[in-house]
Each structure stands twice: as structure tokens, then as C-alpha cells.
């Protein structure tokens, strides 16, 4: 089997030589290429080019200047550039030991499989490279949540979040992949029912450098999950829910520091209208941003609806507080729930029709 090894890199210079050395040793005698898909902001591309010039096997570099392009998108770019239909995806920091690659290939060559996953959670595997207890707990919890949401597609997969897998890209609709965050394998598995098998592996410590996983990646992951499972509108609801909570927290904070509830509600609403729109554009409708003509229209519709809604909400809020003597934050919560339902209907039927 010919093989394309796809390695997404973001500032991984100190790991490049060791990685190529160990891949070469592990795959001695086989035909393969290595494709680095690099979004680095440092000298990593230069280091890769030097290594490529003296490498006994083909090493290619795709360097992208838009540093925000992201891990998932990098892997898709690798799929598109690969010369082999079998692509092995692995991290560039040696947490995925190259010595495990032959076991993945052997399983694929036995047939009846579209994806072979290197799993930390299959019996015999470990996740000791997940440095701290918090990361381990988050990983375990998100794995359980994901498996619960895709019981059939992930039936044979104990580790849908791994970044180490071998896939037959002919079985995947590569053009349909809309990777938003770190979790490209989940995107691959959730869209089509594929034949999956896995081999256990030991998730190692990072060789050099630091992890690029962030809280933002976690939020993107939740959005991705909601989009894949329930479609765009549920991700919209998730964003709206975050916005409503943020609105209440900001208002509560402003009242606490002595502000009157009316200006507090106005300020909280302005902040959340803007952040909500940005979240919709960058998370929920990220794949539609390129149609910029219509985006302006969307912005105007969404912004004026939310502005209008907030303005109408304030008198209703004061009726609830002065007239019905409902506590200010509770009254604000009631108006936000009503506004949320209206906004959902408006965006579904008008803005993103």
C-alpha cells in the first residue's frame, strides 16, 4: 500500500528532525511520502525545507500564511494534496509514536476497513501523555458525550478525538468536511457510516515545545459537535444560550458595582449582541463567510433585529420590575427567554433562509 503521511504543524521546529528520522526507521522498505501542512509563525518551514533536501523519502511542505486556518483545515488540505488515497494523520510533536504506524498499516491491509484508529482508550492503550488530571477528565468526558451522540457511527471507536489514524480518503467525502477545530477524525466519522477498526497505542509525552490546545478549541469542539449532530440551528441555540448567560452575568456584575438596572441591562445587551453575531459568523456560519456580499446583509438584518429587540426589551423589563415587582435579574431572564425564541425564529426564517 502506498501511503501519504500528513503532519499538521504549528511551531514544531525542534521536533521535525526526530520525527522524520523515526518515521524513516519505522517504515524502512515501504513507499510513502510525508506532507507537512504548516501554519507556523516561526522558522519551522525553513527547518522542514532543510530536512526535506536531505531526506531519503519524499517530504513535501504546504505552508499557509493565514495562521488562523486551524488544525482540522490543515488535515483536509493534506488530504487534497496527497498522492496516495491512504492517508495517515499524525501530530508533529511525537506524542504519536511513528513506531506504531506499521500496526495501523497491517490492519488496513487485512481489508474490510475504511479507517484504522490509533486509540488511547482501547484496551492496551494509554493516555499518560495528557499531562494533567484536568486534561484527562475533559478528554474522557468529551469522549463519552461524543459517543453518546453518535452511538452507531462510533460503535467501533473508543477514541473519536485522537489525532492519529489511517484513512482511505476514497471512502470519505473530503469536499464535504467542514472542520472547525481540532477534531478532524470526528468530522470524518460523523458524516458517513464508515467501516472502522482500531489498534491501541500509548499516547506519549510531547518531545519539545508546548501544546496548542486552548479553551477556545474546547468551545469550537462543542459547536462542532452540536452542528454535526443536530444541524446548524442547534449550534445557533448553543451560541444564543451562551449569550443569554453572559448577558445576565454582565448585568449582575454592573448592578453589584452600584449601577442602576436600566443602564446595566443596556450595556449587557450591547456587548452580547456584538459577541453573539461574531460567534454566529465564526462558529455557526463559518463555512458561509466567503459569500461576503450576503454576509453584509446578514449582519444588517441580524444587528437591527437584535438592536430593536433589545430596545423593546427595556420597557418590558421596567414594566416587569416596577409594575409586577419581579426582581430585576429574574425579570431580565424572562425577557431574554422570550427574546431568544423570537430571535431563533427570525434568524431561521429570514436571515439565513
Catalog residues that contact ligand GDD under the rule CB under 6 A. 8-10, 12, 37-39, 70-71, 74, 91-93, 95, 130, 139, 161, 163, 182-183, 211-213
- Check binding of 12 to Mn ion (CB under 5 A): no
CA dihedral 108, 110, 112, 118 (to 10 degrees): -30
Distance CA 178, CA 75 (A): 11
Q: By three-state DSSP, how is residue 196 classified?
A: strand
Distance CA 232, CA 351 (A): 13
CB closer to ligand GDD, 22 vs 301: 22
CB closer to ligand GDD, 153 vs 183: 183
CB closer to ligand GDD, 147 vs 212: 212
Query: At its nearest, how many Å lie between ligand GDD and the CB of residue 209?
Result: 8
Distance CA 186, CA 162 (A): 9
Query: At its nearest, how many Å lie between Mn ion and the CB of residue 73?
Result: 18
Query: At its nearest, how many Å lie between ligand GDD and the CB of residue 294?
Result: 27
39 contact, one of ligand GDD, Mn ion, none, CB 5-8 Å limit per kind? ligand GDD
For cell 438584518, the residue is 301
CB closer to ligand GDD, 91 vs 309: 91
Residue nearest to ligand GDD (CB): 163
Quick one: 70 exposed, middle or buried, by C-beta within 10 A (0-12, 13-18, 19+)? buried
* Alpha helices in the chain, H assignment, sequence order: 16-26, 44-53, 71-81, 101-109, 133-149, 184-191, 215-230, 232-256, 261-279, 292-318, 328-346
Is residue 190 within 8 A of residue 115, CB to CB? The reply is: no
How many residues touch Mn ion under the rule CB under 5 A: the total is 3
Query: At its nearest, how many Å lie between ligand GDD and the CB of residue 38?
Result: 6
Residues 81-110 as x/- pattern, contact with Mn ion by CB under 5 A: ----------x-x-x---------------
CB closer to ligand GDD, 160 vs 240: 160
Among residues 238, 231, 218, 252, the alpha carbon closest in space to that of 330 is found at 252
74 contact, one of Mn ion, ligand GDD, none, CB 5-8 Å limit per kind? ligand GDD
Query: At its nearest, how many Å lie between ligand GDD and the CB of residue 125?
Result: 12
Query: At its nearest, how many Å lie between Mn ion and the CB of residue 95?
Result: 4
Query: At its nearest, how many Å lie between ligand GDD and the CB of residue 284?
Result: 20
- For residue 124, give the DSSP letter: T
Residue 144, strand partner residues: none
CB closer to Mn ion, 39 vs 91: 91
What is the full DSSP assignment across 153-177?
A: TTTT-S-TT-S-EEEEGGGS-GGG-
279 contact, one of ligand GDD, Mn ion, none, CB 5-8 Å limit per kind? none
For 206-239, b where at least 16 C-beta lie within 10 A, e where not — what string?
eeebeebbeeebebbbbbbbbbbeeebebbbebb
- For residue 286, give the DSSP letter: G
Query: At its nearest, how many Å lie between Mn ion and the CB of residue 11?
Result: 12
9 contact, one of ligand GDD, Mn ion, none, CB 5-8 Å limit per kind? ligand GDD
CB closer to ligand GDD, 45 vs 240: 45
For cell 456584575, the residue is 253
CB closer to ligand GDD, 157 vs 331: 157
Point out which residues bind Mn ion (CB under 5 A).
91, 93, 95
Amino acid at each position: 500500500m502506498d501511503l501519504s503521511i500528513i503532519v499538521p504543524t504549528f511551531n514544531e521546529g525542534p521536533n521535525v528532525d526526530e520525527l522524520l528520522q523515526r518515521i524513516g526507521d519505522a517504515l524502512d522498505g515501504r513507499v510513502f511520502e510525508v506532507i507537512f501542512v504548516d501554519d507556523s509563525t516561526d522558522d519551522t518551514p525553513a527547518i522542514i525545507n532543510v530536512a526535506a533536501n536531505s531526506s531519503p523519502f519524499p517530504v513535501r511542505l504546504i505552508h499557509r500564511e493565514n495562521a488562523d486556518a486551524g488544525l482540522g483545515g490543515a488535515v483536509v488540505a493534506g488530504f487534497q494534496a496527497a498522492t496516495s488515497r491512504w492517508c495517515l494523520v499524525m501530530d508533529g510533536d511525537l506524542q504519536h509514536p511513528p513506531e506504531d504506524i506499521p500496526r495501523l498499516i497491517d490492519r488496513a491491509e487485512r481489508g474490510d476497513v475504511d479507517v484504522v484508529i490509533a486509540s488511547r482508550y482501547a484496551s492496551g492503550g494509554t493516555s499518560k501523555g495528557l499531562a494533567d488530571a484536568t486534561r484527562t477528565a475533559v478528554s474522557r468526558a468529551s469522549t463519552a458525550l461524543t459517543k453518546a451522540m453518535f452511538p452507531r457511527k462510533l460503535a467501533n471507536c473508543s477514541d473519536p478525538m485522537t489525532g492519529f489514524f489511517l484513512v482511505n480518503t476514497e471512502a470519505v467525502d473530503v469536499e464535504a468536511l467542514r472542520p472547525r477545530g481540532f477534531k478532524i477524525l470526528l468530522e470524518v466519522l460523523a458524516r458517513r457510516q464508515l467501516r472502522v477498526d482500531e489498534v491501541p497505542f500509548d499516547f506519549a509525552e510531547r518531545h519539545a515545545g508546548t501544546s496548542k490546545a486552548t479553551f477556545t478549541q474546547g468551545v469550537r469542539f462543542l459547536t462542532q459537535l452540536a452542528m454535526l449532530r443536530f444541524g446548524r440551528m442547534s449550534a445557533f441555540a448553543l451560541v444564543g444560550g451562551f449569550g443569554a448567560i453572559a448577558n445576565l452575568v454582565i448585568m449582575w456584575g454592573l448592578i453589584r458595582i452600584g449601577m442602576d438596572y436600566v443602564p446595566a441591562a443596556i450595556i449587557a445587551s450591547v456587548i452580547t449582541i456584538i459577541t453573539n453575531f461574531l460567534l454566529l459568523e465564526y462558529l455557526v456560519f463559518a463555512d458561509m463567510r466567503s459569500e461576503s456580499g450576503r454576509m453584509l446583509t446578514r449582519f444588517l438584518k441580524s444587528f437591527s433585529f437584535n438592536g430593536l429587540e433589545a430596545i423593546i426589551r427595556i420597557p418590558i423589563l421596567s414594566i416587569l420590575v416596577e409594575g409586577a415587582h419581579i426582581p430585576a435579574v429574574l425579570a431580565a431572564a424572562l425577557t431574554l427567554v422570550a427574546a431568544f425564541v423570537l430571535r431563533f425564529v427570525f434568524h431561521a426564517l429570514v436571515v439565513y433562509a
